[in-house]
Amino acid sequence: MNGPLAAPEPDGDGGLDLRSPGQRRYDALWLVLNRGLSNPGAPPSSGRASVMVTVKADPATGRPVGAAFTHLSRVLDADQAGRFACIGDVTPIVLGEHGEPLRLGRTVRLATPGQFKALMVRDGQCTYPGCSVPGTWCDAHHLVWWCRGGGTDIMFLVLLCPRHHTLVHEQDLMATVTGSTVTWHV
């Protein structure tokens, strides 16, 4: 096992994985839990498996403003809330100026099993340039993020491995789909 000062390890893309050993272990655990608890497009087995995130929104645009909070009062920044919204059943709750719930966001946003199969046929693997992680280990990513009003349509979904899914969110990257070709604008 690597110690906290271990050198970066090669990743599957031929580059170096610059995450700390602790972060790699956390990401691996998260991946195992995510794969074990989810089935693309299937609803959670219980309402208790849902995560409710409250966030104040700009009344003019509907976009989140400031920190988001889970029902257990965990504070999430906008990037964290976006990542949670992309990988799970998250119900966004828009709050008014005085903290009053104004509306519940859309909750049917995960790719259906049929859509995921179509992505497997079209993409086959992670679509990020140079990545060869098999599609079965990938997430369906909304090119127009769900939290920004994007729909769950095949032409606006692509397969991304968890590492590149996080990278795409952190760097706010965009791609286009033309036929069966996904082109990332990096």
User: pLDDT for 12-26, tens place per residue?
Assistant: 555 677 888 888 888
Q: What is the pLDDT of residue 88?
A: 59
Q: pLDDT of 135-186, one tens digit each?
A: 988 989 989 887 677 777 888 899 999 999 989 988 989 999 998 899 999 8
Higher pLDDT, 134 or 110: 134
For the chain, the DSSP string reads ---TTPPPEE-TTSSEE-S-HHHHHHHHHHHHHHHHH--TTPPPSSGGG-EEEEEEE-TTT--EEEEEEETT--EE-HHHHHHHHHHS-EEEEEE-TTS-EEEE-----SPPHHHHHHHHHHT-B--STT---BGGG-EEEESS-GGGT----GGGEEEE-HHHHHHHHHHT-EEEEETTEEEEE-
Average pLDDT, the chain: 75
Region of poorest pLDDT, from 41-50, 74-83, 125-134: 41-50
- The mean pLDDT of 100-104, rounded to a whole number, is 61
Q: What is the pLDDT of residue 18?
A: 83
Q: What is the pLDDT of residue 47?
A: 45
